[in-house]
Chain A
Amino acid sequence: MKINVKLFATFRIGRGKIVYLDYYEGMTVKNIIDELGIKKEEIAIIIVGPHDGTPEKMLTFKVEPNMTVHLFPPVAGG
């Protein structure tokens, strides 16, 4: 069972667009970013399905098998 981690903007540098991690019981978003070597301070927004938020809200989110996690550095436009 895998977790799909989609990376955007500068997070892709040296990591690629998507990373597949092995799922394990109790796995959180915090475990995922640690495994990828991304610091909490570098992240602006995390989206998992209909849930979105800053690291403060989302790092403790427990993922489930085959979920897709989106990680965004600070971005904006208009």
Chain B
Amino acid sequence: MFGYMGKLLRVNLTTSDIKIEDLDFEMAKKFVGGRGLGTKILMDEIDPTIDALSPENKIIFINGPMSGTPTPTGGRYMVVTKSPLSGTIASSNSGGTWGARLKYAGFDGIIVEGKSEKPVYLEINESNIQIKDASNVWGKYVSETTDILAKPGNNVLTIGPAGEKLSKMAAIMNEKDRAAGRSGVGAVMGSKNLKAIVTSGKLKPELANAEELKVVVKDANKKIRENGVTGQGLPTYGTAVLVNIINANGIMPVNNFQEGVFEHAEDISGETLAEKYLVRKDPCHRCPIGCGRYCKTDKVEGGGPEYETIWAFGSDCGVKDLEKVIEANYWCNQLGLDTISAGSTLAAAMELYEQGDITDADFDGVKLEFGNEDSIVHWTKKMGLREDFGDKLADGSYRLCESYGKPELSMSVKKLEIPAYDPRGVQGHGLQYATSNRGGCHVRGYMISPEILALPEKLERLELDGKEVWVKIFQDLTAFIDSSGLCLFTSFAIGAQEYADMFNSIVGTNWTADDVLKAGERIYNLEKQFNIAAGITPEEDTLPPRLLNDPMPSGPTEGHVHHLDKLLPKYYEVRGWDETGAPTPEKLKELGL
């Protein structure tokens, strides 16, 4: 078996049983690994209708065949489970080194089931797997926990207090500031009383053709280094380089998506971040790009912030103070909170305050008011700790807004907060938000690439024609990349053929670019099947009403709404799904599902 370690670790926290199982190689290839294989295992083993925070849910930490190999960015892993935030499939991706280290410990994945009576953590290496008492780290911040559990040669994955307190926005953190951020996966760990997983080891996967891999990796690295985005823009400025171009297009959400141009964009831009606060680049395992930032202010220092974080706590909350945004990011990392959902939830609370639904009596003197710089730090801490009004914030914007009878003020799809691009000015990207299998997510098919950044070519951002085809291709390719163990950002420089070449050299297959896309399509359809079985309705393939009905008030996107009604039927048709968005029997047969 090439590429894979051939072993899955199964840990039952109710019974303390530990089993090592053989990986089904044919099934692994069919679903690639990571996101695809994790979904297949979850689909086979749980009833999708269960409560995501019950012991019946399982949580799978799984890497791909390219994780832990010499491929560029090959250090990533996926967390696959049922989401407590959205009720959909959750597959949350993280970089750093932990994913590669899991492979070096000898495993393709860990399936955790049941619930421990007391807080525990797992310690895993080539020869020893232990369930250990976590009472000395329970309640501690992510950096403290990591420092206590870290030893030379190991890597620590942990939840923070937000996960312990079952915040539906809780992230899973590794190496202190890398996050499997979205969908509330940290709460699933918390619900099982599982605080951390520590991995170490020096095993390596066997490669089908190591010499051929050297050649294709050299070619991929060359393309990545010579590409303007991956060779210069991202390494120099990080993802926050997007602030100005998104703003200049009038699609930078401001004050909970009430506007699309932020007059203080320059103050929170990647350029300003690099000039004032950047200490150094902070690359992930084997990454030739190095978009990660390590920043410092007078008060805090650590990893980040990313573009999405800067938008969520910055323009979406009307905040122009980048130091405060960096501080909010720091507390999200310490508490283990998804920065997108956390910032967007604060923005929703600010609009509820603006409309008089939340009042001064709800606060402790620090008002959640658009532009209040201190509030984003103050309430992020309270949200992560479920203190005072923070308890109400901790389950995300949808549940917050619904409790005031105004769910429409939650800028979310399937209860997952949508990221930093207003769909009214990027029609394909809006379609992708509405149809993403984990809810409002930008990295299930990043249509900003062609619609804004001219990658691989420039599409007119407001046009509708043909966008359904682009969205499908981007979603399918992304599903493969997420399953392979590589970073999505490699796709700014390389394409399906390069992924096929690397996969073949590692796994021993003879796949074409079309096979890569077909595998991605299979995974996408499997996720959709999970969601349908979980009770997600066709009506949930939509966008917040504001984006469909209220024209953008000003700026370069002025006067536009999102035309989902026109795009969605075409998308279902291109996917081979029926009018309710369900895969047809013919499509499932074609994909071997």
Question: Is the CB–CB distance between A49 and B307 below 8 Å?
Answer: no
Question: Is the CB–CB distance between B271 and A8 below 8 Å?
Answer: yes
Q: Which of B230, B240, B245 contacts A72 (CB 8 A)?
A: B245
Query: 1/0 per position for A7-28, CB-CB distance to B under 8 A?
Result: 0111010000100000000000
| B236 interfacial contact with A, CB 8 Å | yes
Query: 1/0 per position for A61-78, CB-CB distance to B under 8 A?
Result: 000000000101111111
Closest to A18 in B: B266
| B174 interfacial contact with A, CB 8 Å | no
User: Which one, B101-109, B392-400, B442-450, is touching chain A?
Assistant: B442-450
Query: 1/0 per position for B244-268, CB-CB distance to A under 8 A?
Result: 1100111000000000000000100
A interface, size bucket: 20 to 34
Question: Is the CB–CB distance between A45 and B453 below 8 Å?
Answer: yes
Q: Which of A12, A17, A45, A70 contacts B452 (CB 8 A)?
A: A45
| B197 interfacial contact with A, CB 8 Å | no
Which residues of chain A are near B229, meaning CB under 8 Å? 74-76
Q: Which of A12, A73, A76 contacts B449 (CB 8 A)?
A: A76
Question: Is the CB–CB distance between B241 and A9 below 8 Å?
Answer: yes
Which residues of chain A are near B453, meaning CB under 8 Å? 44-45, 74-76
Question: Is the CB–CB distance between B458 and A77 below 8 Å?
Answer: no
**Total interface residues on B, using CB and 8 Å?**
43
Closest to A56 in B: B458
Question: Is the CB–CB distance between B232 and A47 below 8 Å?
Answer: no
Question: Is the CB–CB distance between A9 and B236 below 8 Å?
Answer: yes
Question: Is the CB–CB distance between A76 and B556 below 8 Å?
Answer: no
Most chain B beta-carbon neighbours within 10 Å: one of A9, A47, A73: A9
Number of residue pairs A-B, CB distance < 8 angstroms: 101
Question: Is the CB–CB distance between A54 and B236 below 8 Å?
Answer: no
Question: Is the CB–CB distance between B228 and A73 below 8 Å?
Answer: yes
Query: 1/0 per position for A34-68, CB-CB distance to B under 8 A?
Result: 00000000001101011011100100000000000
**In whole angstroms, how far apart are the Cα atoms of A57 and B556 in the complex?**
17
From residue B488, how far is it (CB to closest CB) to chain A in Å? 7
**In whole angstroms, how far apart are the Cα atoms of A45 and B458 in the complex?**
9
Question: Is the CB–CB distance between A47 and B248 below 8 Å?
Answer: yes
Question: Is the CB–CB distance between A75 and B242 below 8 Å?
Answer: yes
Which residues of chain A are near B452, meaning CB under 8 Å? 45, 52
**In whole angstroms, how far apart are the Cα atoms of A47 and B425 in the complex?**
14
Which residues of chain B are near A9, meaning CB under 8 Å? 233, 236-237, 241, 270-271
B:330-389 near A, CB below 8 Å: none
Question: Is the CB–CB distance between A8 and B488 below 8 Å?
Answer: no
Question: Is the CB–CB distance between A17 and B266 below 8 Å?
Answer: yes
- Given A9-B233, A52-B461, A57-B458; A78-B245 close (CB under 8 Å): no
Closest to B451 in A: A52
From residue B450, how far is it (CB to closest CB) to chain A in Å? 11
Which residues of chain A are near B271, meaning CB under 8 Å? 8-9, 12, 17
**In whole angstroms, how far apart are the Cα atoms of A78 and B452 in the complex?**
12
**In whole angstroms, how far apart are the Cα atoms of A10 and B237 in the complex?**
9
**In whole angstroms, how far apart are the Cα atoms of A14 and B244 in the complex?**
19
From residue A6, how far is it (CB to closest CB) to chain B in Å? 8
Question: Is the CB–CB distance between B488 and A78 below 8 Å?
Answer: yes
Question: Is the CB–CB distance between A44 and B556 below 8 Å?
Answer: no
Q: Which of B233, B306, B446, B458 contacts A75 (CB 8 A)?
A: B233
| B227 interfacial contact with A, CB 8 Å | yes
| B277 interfacial contact with A, CB 8 Å | no
Q: Which of A6, A12, A50, A54 contacts B454 (CB 8 A)?
A: A54
20 A-B residue pairings within 8 Å (CB atoms) = A6-B248, A8-B244, A9-B270, A10-B232, A17-B266, A44-B453, A47-B249, A52-B461, A53-B458, A54-B454, A54-B458, A70-B245, A74-B233, A74-B455, A76-B449, A76-B453, A77-B291, A77-B306, A77-B307, A78-B446
Query: Other than the known A75-B453, A76-B455, A78-B239, what 11 A-B pairs have Cβ atoms closer than 8 Å?
Result: A9-B271, A45-B245, A45-B452, A45-B453, A47-B556, A75-B241, A76-B489, A77-B242, A78-B242, A78-B443, A78-B448
10 tightest A-B CB contacts, nearest first = A74-B228, A77-B239, A77-B242, A75-B233, A76-B229, A50-B556, A75-B241, A74-B229, A70-B248, A77-B307
